[in-house]
Chain A
Amino acid sequence: DQQVKQNSPSLSVQEGRISILNCDYTNSMFDYFLWYKKYPAEGPTFLISISSIKDKNEDGRFTVFLNKSAKHLSLHIVPSQPGDSAVYFCAAIGDSSYKLIFGSGTRLLVRP
């Protein structure tokens, strides 16, 4: 049973528009969430994170929103750039665990 779900395998947006990537989780013990970005033939790189005590965290063009009651988080990229084209993984951890749980990823394509 997947504890972290990314239900959209792919997303295509026009350059300059907003990209919204979604993630749902089932484990109520998760209290910290991270987004990683992955280019082909490279390892994932950390993008942004959010603690469960917050509902929003911003870093430049990237904003993560957390809705704890709905067990849902989203990553907003504004404005989207062609260099943002990559696979984005949502991940979660909680209960003082050492095990980071990843979603299946969403492939974002930003069209020039």
Chain B
Amino acid sequence: NAGVTQTPKFQVLKTGQSMTLQCAQDMNHEYMSWYRQDPGMGLRLIHYSVGAGITDQGEVPNGYNVSRSTTEDFPLRLLSAAPSQTSVYFCASSSLGLAGGNYNEQFFGPGTRLTVL
């Protein structure tokens, strides 16, 4: 199993450019999520999905779009990049229990370091 994979590893954008960060998992996990990590802020949830066709907002969703057309893939789109989006982005996935909520450990990808000039 490759686990959770993310591409690219590094990216530099100019303000206003758009791009898509790719995330894929091969563990058949229902739940997938995107976080950003900033110094002194820990990891903050951007968007998450509990299955194909279902997405919802996290703590810091503004400026980002997501879609979930398959169980395996969960891309994160920046429509018009801003310097405030300079960060390290992590994708994660987990299985879901029968009860509501997501109390299972999440498996993280290696991250994408994004710089917006």
Contacts and interface: CB of A to CB of B under 8 A. Distances in A.
Interface of A: 4, 6, 9, 32, 34, 36, 41-46, 49, 89, 91, 93-105
A5 to B, nearest CB: 10
A44 B48 contact: no
A36 B99 CA distance: 23
B48 A102 contact: no
Given A36-B108, A93-B102, 17 more contacts: A34-B105, A42-B111, A43-B4, A43-B111, A46-B107, A89-B43, A93-B101, A97-B101, A97-B102, A98-B31, A98-B56, A98-B101, A98-B102, A99-B58, A100-B33, A102-B43, A104-B40
Given A41-B110, A104-B41, A95 B101 contact: yes
Interface of B: 4, 31, 33, 35, 40-45, 48, 50, 56, 58-59, 90, 92, 99-103, 105-111
Contact of B44 (A6, A34, A93, A102): A102
A38 to B, nearest CB: 8
A16 B31 CA distance: 38
19 contacts: A4-B42, A43-B90, A45-B108, A46-B105, A46-B106, A46-B107, A89-B42, A89-B43, A93-B103, A95-B101, A97-B102, A98-B50, A98-B56, A99-B58, A100-B102, A102-B42, A103-B42, A104-B40, A104-B41
Contacts of A89: 42-43
B42 A104 contact: yes
Contacts of A91: 43
A47 to B, nearest CB: 9
B18 to A, nearest CB: 25
B101 A43 contact: no
B43 to A, nearest CB: 4
Contact of A99 (B45, B99, B110, B111): B45
6 nearest CB pairs, A to B:
A43-B108, A96-B100, A96-B101, A46-B105, A102-B42, A104-B42
